[in-house]
Amino acid sequence: MPERKRKPRVAVVDWKPAPASIDGVTVERKVLGKAAEVKYYLADTEADFTLAILNADAIIVWQNTDVTERTLSKMKNCRALIRNGVGYDTVDVKTAGRLGIPVCNVPDYGTEEVADHAIALTMAQVRQLFPLDREAKKPAWKLHVKEKLRRLSTLTLGIVGLGRIGTACALRAKALGFRVVFYDPYLPNGTHKAVGVERVDSLEALLRQVDVLSLHCPLTEETRYLIAEKELAMMKPTAYVVNTARGAVIKKKAILAALRKGVIAGAALDVIENEPLKTKAEAATPNLIATCHAAFCSVEGMVEMRTTSARIAKLAVTGKPVENLVNEEWLV
Protein backbone atom coordinates (compact mmCIF):
# COMPACT_ATOMS: atom_id res chain seq x y z
CA MET A 1 0.00 0.00 0.00
CA PRO A 2 1.25 3.53 -0.72
CA GLU A 3 2.39 5.50 2.33
CA ARG A 4 -0.34 7.71 3.74
CA LYS A 5 0.46 11.39 3.34
CA ARG A 6 1.00 13.18 6.65
CA LYS A 7 -1.50 15.90 7.50
CA PRO A 8 0.16 19.31 7.91
CA ARG A 9 0.59 20.52 11.47
CA VAL A 10 0.21 24.07 12.77
CA ALA A 11 1.66 24.98 16.18
CA VAL A 12 0.24 27.94 18.09
CA VAL A 13 2.79 29.05 20.69
CA ASP A 14 1.43 31.25 23.48
CA TRP A 15 3.43 32.98 26.20
CA LYS A 16 3.56 30.87 29.37
CA PRO A 17 3.73 33.69 31.97
CA ALA A 18 0.57 35.38 30.63
CA PRO A 19 -1.28 33.41 27.95
CA ALA A 20 -3.15 35.67 25.56
CA SER A 21 -5.59 33.03 24.35
CA ILE A 22 -8.48 32.15 26.66
CA ASP A 23 -9.82 29.30 24.56
CA GLY A 24 -6.76 27.50 23.21
CA VAL A 25 -7.04 27.28 19.44
CA THR A 26 -10.79 27.34 18.81
CA VAL A 27 -10.51 30.24 16.35
CA GLU A 28 -7.53 28.75 14.54
CA ARG A 29 -9.16 25.33 14.13
CA LYS A 30 -12.27 26.93 12.68
CA VAL A 31 -10.22 28.80 10.06
CA LEU A 32 -7.89 25.93 9.16
CA GLY A 33 -10.61 23.31 9.07
CA LYS A 34 -9.37 20.09 7.51
CA ALA A 35 -6.28 21.74 6.02
CA ALA A 36 -4.13 21.06 9.08
CA GLU A 37 -3.96 19.66 12.57
CA VAL A 38 -3.71 22.53 15.08
CA LYS A 39 -2.00 22.21 18.46
CA TYR A 40 -1.60 24.73 21.29
CA TYR A 41 1.63 25.12 23.30
CA LEU A 42 2.95 27.38 26.05
CA ALA A 43 6.52 28.70 26.03
CA ASP A 44 8.35 31.12 28.29
CA THR A 45 11.41 31.34 26.03
CA GLU A 46 12.50 29.63 22.84
CA ALA A 47 14.22 27.02 25.01
CA ASP A 48 10.69 25.74 25.68
CA PHE A 49 10.10 25.00 22.00
CA THR A 50 9.55 21.24 21.88
CA LEU A 51 10.18 18.96 18.91
CA ALA A 52 6.47 19.06 18.18
CA ILE A 53 6.70 22.84 17.74
CA LEU A 54 9.96 22.76 15.79
CA ASN A 55 8.64 20.09 13.40
CA ALA A 56 5.40 21.94 12.61
CA ASP A 57 4.61 23.03 9.06
CA ALA A 58 3.51 26.49 10.21
CA ILE A 59 4.12 28.18 13.56
CA ILE A 60 2.07 31.01 15.03
CA VAL A 61 3.95 32.81 17.82
CA TRP A 62 2.41 35.18 20.34
CA GLN A 63 4.22 38.22 21.79
CA ASN A 64 7.39 38.25 23.92
CA THR A 65 8.88 34.95 22.71
CA ASP A 66 12.24 35.42 20.97
CA VAL A 67 12.95 33.27 17.93
CA THR A 68 16.66 33.30 17.10
CA GLU A 69 18.96 31.42 14.74
CA ARG A 70 19.39 28.64 17.29
CA THR A 71 15.70 27.80 17.04
CA LEU A 72 15.11 28.71 13.41
CA SER A 73 17.81 26.28 12.28
CA LYS A 74 15.79 23.42 13.80
CA MET A 75 12.57 24.27 11.92
CA LYS A 76 13.06 21.87 9.04
CA ASN A 77 9.40 21.74 7.93
CA CYS A 78 8.35 25.33 8.55
CA ARG A 79 6.58 26.95 5.60
CA ALA A 80 5.67 30.10 7.57
CA LEU A 81 6.50 31.62 10.94
CA ILE A 82 3.67 33.97 11.83
CA ARG A 83 4.00 36.61 14.53
CA ASN A 84 0.58 36.98 16.13
CA GLY A 85 0.66 40.76 16.20
CA VAL A 86 2.21 43.76 14.47
CA GLY A 87 5.77 43.83 15.82
CA TYR A 88 8.28 41.19 14.75
CA ASP A 89 11.46 42.50 16.37
CA THR A 90 11.61 39.33 18.50
CA VAL A 91 12.18 37.22 15.37
CA ASP A 92 15.53 37.04 13.54
CA VAL A 93 13.94 37.73 10.16
CA LYS A 94 17.22 37.84 8.24
CA THR A 95 18.26 34.37 9.38
CA ALA A 96 14.77 33.04 8.76
CA GLY A 97 14.97 34.32 5.20
CA ARG A 98 18.37 32.73 4.66
CA LEU A 99 16.91 29.44 5.88
CA GLY A 100 13.95 29.78 3.51
CA ILE A 101 11.36 30.44 6.23
CA PRO A 102 8.81 33.15 5.39
CA VAL A 103 8.05 35.40 8.38
CA CYS A 104 4.67 37.13 8.47
CA ASN A 105 2.88 39.45 10.86
CA VAL A 106 -0.65 40.74 11.38
CA PRO A 107 -0.42 44.51 10.80
CA ASP A 108 -4.09 45.22 10.18
CA TYR A 109 -5.64 44.25 13.50
CA GLY A 110 -5.97 46.38 16.61
CA THR A 111 -5.54 49.74 14.88
CA GLU A 112 -8.61 51.15 16.59
CA GLU A 113 -7.75 49.64 19.96
CA VAL A 114 -4.18 50.96 20.09
CA ALA A 115 -5.22 54.43 18.93
CA ASP A 116 -8.03 54.48 21.51
CA HIS A 117 -5.61 53.38 24.23
CA ALA A 118 -3.10 56.07 23.30
CA ILE A 119 -5.81 58.72 23.53
CA ALA A 120 -7.04 57.28 26.83
CA LEU A 121 -3.52 57.49 28.28
CA THR A 122 -3.20 61.02 26.94
CA MET A 123 -6.47 62.11 28.54
CA ALA A 124 -5.56 60.44 31.83
CA GLN A 125 -2.51 62.70 32.00
CA VAL A 126 -3.74 66.05 30.70
CA ARG A 127 -6.91 65.77 32.81
CA GLN A 128 -5.06 64.24 35.81
CA LEU A 129 -7.59 61.43 36.18
CA PHE A 130 -5.62 59.20 38.53
CA PRO A 131 -4.56 61.93 41.00
CA LEU A 132 -8.15 63.21 41.00
CA ASP A 133 -9.48 59.71 41.62
CA ARG A 134 -7.16 59.21 44.59
CA GLU A 135 -8.01 62.61 46.04
CA ALA A 136 -11.77 62.25 45.58
CA LYS A 137 -11.75 59.07 47.70
CA LYS A 138 -10.40 60.91 50.74
CA PRO A 139 -12.84 62.09 53.47
CA ALA A 140 -12.05 65.76 52.80
CA TRP A 141 -10.72 66.12 49.28
CA LYS A 142 -9.04 69.17 47.78
CA LEU A 143 -8.38 70.08 44.16
CA HIS A 144 -4.58 70.02 44.37
CA VAL A 145 -3.89 69.48 40.67
CA LYS A 146 -5.93 72.34 39.20
CA GLU A 147 -2.79 74.05 37.85
CA LYS A 148 -2.03 70.90 35.82
CA LEU A 149 -5.44 70.59 34.16
CA ARG A 150 -5.27 71.69 30.54
CA ARG A 151 -7.71 72.80 27.83
CA LEU A 152 -7.18 70.44 24.91
CA SER A 153 -7.52 73.10 22.23
CA THR A 154 -4.42 74.85 23.64
CA LEU A 155 -2.26 71.72 23.44
CA THR A 156 -0.04 70.23 20.73
CA LEU A 157 0.08 66.46 20.37
CA GLY A 158 3.11 65.15 18.52
CA ILE A 159 3.18 61.78 16.79
CA VAL A 160 6.24 59.77 15.79
CA GLY A 161 5.22 57.45 12.96
CA LEU A 162 2.17 58.32 10.86
CA GLY A 163 1.29 54.80 9.80
CA ARG A 164 -2.05 53.08 10.33
CA ILE A 165 -2.12 53.51 14.10
CA GLY A 166 -0.43 56.91 14.11
CA THR A 167 -3.00 58.18 11.63
CA ALA A 168 -5.89 56.77 13.66
CA CYS A 169 -4.47 58.47 16.77
CA ALA A 170 -4.04 61.76 14.89
CA LEU A 171 -7.65 61.77 13.72
CA ARG A 172 -8.91 61.10 17.25
CA ALA A 173 -6.71 63.82 18.71
CA LYS A 174 -7.88 66.32 16.09
CA ALA A 175 -11.49 65.53 16.89
CA LEU A 176 -10.79 66.34 20.55
CA GLY A 177 -9.29 69.71 19.64
CA PHE A 178 -5.55 69.06 19.80
CA ARG A 179 -3.22 70.66 17.31
CA VAL A 180 -1.47 67.62 15.79
CA VAL A 181 2.06 67.55 14.38
CA PHE A 182 4.12 64.53 13.40
CA TYR A 183 7.57 63.29 12.48
CA ASP A 184 7.99 60.40 10.04
CA PRO A 185 11.02 60.51 7.71
CA TYR A 186 9.69 57.59 5.66
CA LEU A 187 6.27 58.99 4.79
CA PRO A 188 5.98 60.28 1.20
CA ASN A 189 5.51 64.02 0.86
CA GLY A 190 1.91 65.17 0.83
CA THR A 191 0.42 62.07 2.46
CA HIS A 192 -0.27 63.96 5.67
CA LYS A 193 -2.37 66.56 3.87
CA ALA A 194 -5.18 64.05 3.49
CA VAL A 195 -5.22 63.70 7.28
CA GLY A 196 -4.97 67.43 7.95
CA VAL A 197 -1.97 67.42 10.28
CA GLU A 198 1.30 69.34 10.30
CA ARG A 199 4.68 67.84 9.48
CA VAL A 200 8.10 68.63 10.96
CA ASP A 201 11.43 67.62 9.46
CA SER A 202 13.26 66.44 12.57
CA LEU A 203 12.60 64.68 15.84
CA GLU A 204 14.10 67.61 17.73
CA ALA A 205 11.67 70.04 16.10
CA LEU A 206 8.82 67.82 17.25
CA LEU A 207 10.07 67.32 20.81
CA ARG A 208 10.63 71.00 21.52
CA GLN A 209 7.04 72.01 20.79
CA VAL A 210 4.77 69.18 21.92
CA ASP A 211 2.68 69.00 25.07
CA VAL A 212 2.08 65.30 24.50
CA LEU A 213 4.40 62.95 22.61
CA SER A 214 2.73 59.77 21.30
CA LEU A 215 4.95 57.06 19.81
CA HIS A 216 3.72 54.88 16.95
CA CYS A 217 6.86 53.55 15.26
CA PRO A 218 8.22 50.00 14.97
CA LEU A 219 11.25 48.85 16.93
CA THR A 220 14.25 48.67 14.61
CA GLU A 221 17.98 49.25 14.95
CA GLU A 222 17.25 52.88 14.07
CA THR A 223 14.42 53.42 16.58
CA ARG A 224 15.86 51.55 19.58
CA TYR A 225 16.30 54.19 22.29
CA LEU A 226 14.86 56.82 19.97
CA ILE A 227 13.80 58.57 23.16
CA ALA A 228 16.58 58.70 25.76
CA GLU A 229 18.20 61.27 28.04
CA LYS A 230 19.09 63.75 25.30
CA GLU A 231 15.65 63.69 23.71
CA LEU A 232 13.74 63.96 27.00
CA ALA A 233 15.82 67.01 27.91
CA MET A 234 14.54 68.73 24.76
CA MET A 235 10.93 68.53 25.91
CA LYS A 236 8.97 71.03 27.97
CA PRO A 237 8.92 70.29 31.70
CA THR A 238 5.11 70.30 31.40
CA ALA A 239 5.07 67.70 28.60
CA TYR A 240 3.84 64.12 28.72
CA VAL A 241 5.00 60.97 26.92
CA VAL A 242 2.73 58.16 25.71
CA ASN A 243 4.10 54.87 24.36
CA THR A 244 1.84 52.23 22.83
CA ALA A 245 4.44 51.15 20.25
CA ARG A 246 7.39 49.03 21.43
CA GLY A 247 9.04 49.23 24.83
CA ALA A 248 12.65 49.77 23.78
CA VAL A 249 11.79 52.77 21.61
CA ILE A 250 12.19 54.53 24.97
CA LYS A 251 15.21 53.89 27.17
CA LYS A 252 13.61 52.81 30.44
CA LYS A 253 16.41 54.07 32.68
CA ALA A 254 16.23 57.48 31.02
CA ILE A 255 12.48 58.02 31.29
CA LEU A 256 12.24 56.82 34.89
CA ALA A 257 15.06 59.19 35.83
CA ALA A 258 13.38 62.03 33.93
CA LEU A 259 10.17 61.47 35.88
CA ARG A 260 11.98 61.42 39.23
CA LYS A 261 13.86 64.62 38.40
CA GLY A 262 10.84 66.44 36.92
CA VAL A 263 12.39 66.75 33.46
CA ILE A 264 8.92 65.98 32.06
CA ALA A 265 5.52 66.09 33.75
CA GLY A 266 4.53 62.48 33.23
CA ALA A 267 4.61 59.32 31.14
CA ALA A 268 1.95 56.75 30.29
CA LEU A 269 3.49 53.52 29.04
CA ASP A 270 1.63 50.51 27.74
CA VAL A 271 4.94 48.99 26.70
CA ILE A 272 8.20 49.16 28.66
CA GLU A 273 11.73 48.02 27.88
CA ASN A 274 12.24 44.56 29.43
CA GLU A 275 8.69 44.59 30.72
CA PRO A 276 7.20 44.26 33.22
CA LEU A 277 8.61 46.75 35.73
CA LYS A 278 11.18 44.85 37.80
CA THR A 279 11.23 46.51 41.21
CA LYS A 280 9.02 48.34 43.68
CA ALA A 281 11.17 51.42 43.13
CA GLU A 282 10.43 51.37 39.39
CA ALA A 283 6.72 50.89 40.04
CA ALA A 284 6.73 53.79 42.51
CA THR A 285 8.18 56.26 39.99
CA PRO A 286 6.23 59.52 40.31
CA ASN A 287 3.83 60.57 37.55
CA LEU A 288 4.07 57.20 35.81
CA ILE A 289 1.02 55.41 34.44
CA ALA A 290 1.65 51.85 33.25
CA THR A 291 -0.67 49.37 31.57
CA CYS A 292 0.02 45.71 30.85
CA HIS A 293 0.92 45.74 27.13
CA ALA A 294 -2.84 45.80 26.62
CA ALA A 295 -3.36 48.54 24.03
CA PHE A 296 -3.98 46.01 21.26
CA CYS A 297 -6.50 44.08 23.25
CA SER A 298 -10.26 43.79 22.75
CA VAL A 299 -12.52 40.80 22.29
CA GLU A 300 -13.07 41.78 18.66
CA GLY A 301 -9.42 42.59 17.99
CA MET A 302 -8.17 39.29 19.36
CA VAL A 303 -10.51 37.32 17.13
CA GLU A 304 -9.49 39.44 14.15
CA MET A 305 -5.80 38.89 14.82
CA ARG A 306 -6.11 35.15 15.35
CA THR A 307 -8.28 34.76 12.27
CA THR A 308 -5.72 36.53 10.11
CA SER A 309 -2.74 34.55 11.44
CA ALA A 310 -4.65 31.29 10.97
CA ARG A 311 -5.55 32.29 7.42
CA ILE A 312 -1.87 32.90 6.66
CA ALA A 313 -0.99 29.51 8.16
CA LYS A 314 -3.61 27.90 5.93
CA LEU A 315 -2.14 29.57 2.86
CA ALA A 316 1.31 28.29 3.84
CA VAL A 317 0.36 24.66 4.48
CA THR A 318 -1.71 24.48 1.29
CA GLY A 319 1.18 25.73 -0.84
CA LYS A 320 -0.22 29.19 -1.63
CA PRO A 321 1.58 32.55 -1.39
CA VAL A 322 1.41 33.95 2.14
CA GLU A 323 0.22 37.41 3.16
CA ASN A 324 1.99 40.09 5.19
CA LEU A 325 5.49 38.80 4.42
CA VAL A 326 8.10 40.87 6.30
CA ASN A 327 11.38 39.19 5.27
CA GLU A 328 10.98 38.99 1.51
CA GLU A 329 14.26 40.81 0.86
CA TRP A 330 16.22 38.07 2.68
CA LEU A 331 14.13 35.08 1.63
CA VAL A 332 15.89 32.45 -0.48
Active-site choice (293, 304, 306, 311): 293
First to last CA, the chain: 36
Active-site choice (37, 112, 229, 275): 275
pTM of the complete model: 0.85
Active-site choice (246, 304, 306, 311): 246
Q: CATH assignment of 9-109+298-325, given 2.40.50.140, 3.40.1170.10, 3.40.50.720, 2.40.50.100?
A: 3.40.50.720
260 given a catalytic annotation: no
How far is Cα 274 from Cα 188, in angstroms, rounded to an integer?
A: 33
Report pLDDT digits (tens) over 236-245: 999 999 999 9
275 given a catalytic annotation: yes
In this prediction, residue 18 carries a pLDDT of 74
What is residue 255's DSSP assignment? H
Report pLDDT digits (tens) over 146-181: 889 999 999 999 999 999 999 999 999 999 999 999
Angle ∠(61,118,252) on CA atoms, nearest 5: 70
CATH entry 3.40.50.720 includes domain 111-290: yes
Matching fold, domains 9-109+298-325 and 111-290: yes
Angle ∠(44,47,48) on CA atoms, nearest 5: 55
Other residues' Cβ atoms within 10 Å of the Cβ of residue 42: 15
Q: What does the domain layout of the chain look like in residue ranges? A: 9-109+298-325, 111-290
Lowest mean pLDDT among 20-24, 100-104, 217-221: 20-24
Residue 1 clears pLDDT 70, i.e. is over it: no
4 given a catalytic annotation: no
Mean pLDDT across the stretch 279-291? 97
